[in-house]
Amino acid sequence: MKVLFAAPARDWDEWHRALIAAAPEMDLAREGDPASFDALIYAPGYPEDGSTLDFTPFTKARVVQSLWAGVERIVTNPTLTQPLCRMVDPGLARGMSEYCTGWVMRAHLGMDHYTQDGIWRHAIVPPLASARRVTILGMGELGRALAQCLRGLGFCVTGWSASGRPVEGITVLDAPALGQALAGADILVSLLPDTPATRGLLNAETLAMLPEGAWLINAGRGTVLVEEDLLAALDAGRVGHAVLDVFTAEPLPAGHPFWSHPRVTVTPHISAATRPETAAPVAAENLRRAMSGAPLLHLVDRSRGY
Ligand code: NAP
C-alpha cells in the first residue's frame, strides 16, 4: 500500500521508523502523485505553508488516519470525502491519565500550601481521596482511562458526557445534568473535544456553578473555556487554581495574562503526545483494514465533529 505522510517534516524520521516497523509492506512517502496514494496519514501543521489540504486529487485513498486524537482542524475540511479516523492509542490514554493524575494530586494534597518559608502549617491536613470529588467532562477514550485511574486511588469520581453512556464503577451524568456535574466538582478536569457544541461551554455562568475554590484542569481543548471568564472566576475566588494545557491561541501569546497569574499553571500542550511506538501499530492496523475492506477503527462522526 502506498501511503502519503501528510504531517510536518520534523515528524518524519521517528514516524517513518515506527510505521515501517509496524507495517513493513507500507510504501510511505512524503510526496508523489496524489492519485497514486491508497491512504493518508495526517497530522496538523500540514501542508507546512499554512494552506488548507485539498483532498480532492486523492481519488484512490481509502482512509485518512489522523495521528492526533483531536480532529477539529481537519473534520470540517469540505474537500475531505474519504473516511477519517482519529488516533486512539494506549500511550495517549496512559499519558493523559498520568498528566491529569499528577495535577489532581497537587490539588488534592494542597501541595501549594506548604511553601518553604519557615512557617509550620500543621493545621492544614488534606482529606483522604475518598472525600475529594473529581468531575471529568468528556468520558471518551481519555476520560474513561483517567476515571479508572483516579478511582483506583480512591477519589470520588463523576463523569459527564453528551450521552451519559455508562462506565463501569463510575457515575456518569448526561448533557442536561451539567449543573450537577459542576456543583459536585472539587476538582474539574475537562477532556472534551473542540466542536461547535463544546465551544465556550466553560463560561461565566457555568464556572459559577462550581464550589468555591474548585480547581480546574483543562487538557482537552482550549476553545471549551472562555478565557476572560476564567480570569474573572479566579479573581472572584470561585476557581481556586487553573492548570491549563490547551488554549484558544497556541502557542499561548507572550503577554497573555495566564503566564503571570499566580493561580494559573500553564503547560504547553504536552499532556498527551502521540507516541510513535504505541500509535504506529494502531495506524498500521487501520490502514490494513482499509486495504482489505474491513471495518475501520475510531471512525470520526463528521456530524458530531469528534
Ligand atoms: P473521545 O473518545 O471522542 O471522547 C469525547 C468525549 O467527549 C465523549 O465522552 C463525548 O460524549 C464527550 N462530548 C463530546 N461533545 C460533547 C458535548 N457537547 N457535551 C458533552 N460531552 C461531549 O475523545 P478522547 O480520545 O477521549 O479525546 C478527547 C479530547 O482530548 C480530544 O478530542 C482532543 O481534543 C483532546 N486531547 C488533548 C491532548 C493534549 O495533549 N492536550 C491529547 C490528546 C487528546 P459521548 O461519550 O456521549 O460521545
Atom of ligand 1 nearest to the CA of 71: 32
The set of residues, in sequence order, having a beta carbon less than 8 Å from that of 196 and lying 6+ positions away, is 305
Nearest to 138 by CA among 211, 197, 193: 193
Nearest to 287 by CA among 114, 59, 36, 38: 38
For residue 187, the model assigns a pLDDT of 99
C-alpha of residue 137 to centroid of ligand 1, in Å: 8
Active site residue 106: no
Q: How far is the C-alpha of 32 from the C-alpha of 29, rounded, in Å?
A: 7
For residue 10, the model assigns a pLDDT of 97
195 lines ligand 1 (CB under 6 A): yes
Going by alpha carbons, the residue nearest to atom 33 of ligand 1 is: 70
> Could you tell me if residue 237 is left (phi over 0), alpha (psi between -120 and 50 degrees) or otherwise beta?
left
For residue 213, the model assigns a pLDDT of 98
Q: How far is the C-alpha of 167 from the C-alpha of 154, rounded, in Å?
A: 16
Catalytic entry in 269, 288, 289, 298: 269
Nearest to 248 by CA among 293, 305, 203, 296: 203
For ligand 1, pick from 99, 144, 146, 161 the residue to mutate: most ligand atoms within 8 Å of CB: 161
C-alpha of residue 27 to centroid of ligand 1, in Å: 32
Cell numbers standing for residue 116: 518553604
Active site residue 269: yes
| Residues of the chain below pLDDT 50 | none
Domains (range + CATH), the chain: 2-89+274-292 (3.40.50.720), 91-266 (3.40.50.720)
For residue 209, the model assigns a pLDDT of 98
For residue 160, the model assigns a pLDDT of 99
For residue 168, the model assigns a pLDDT of 96
C-alpha of residue 238 to centroid of ligand 1, in Å: 25
For residue 61, the model assigns a pLDDT of 98
C-alpha of residue 138 to centroid of ligand 1, in Å: 5
Q: pLDDT tens digits, residue range 130-189?
A: 999 999 999 999 999 999 999 999 999 999 999 999 999 999 999 999 999 999 999 999
To the nearest 10 degrees (0 to 180), the angle between helices 12-22 and 276-292 is 50
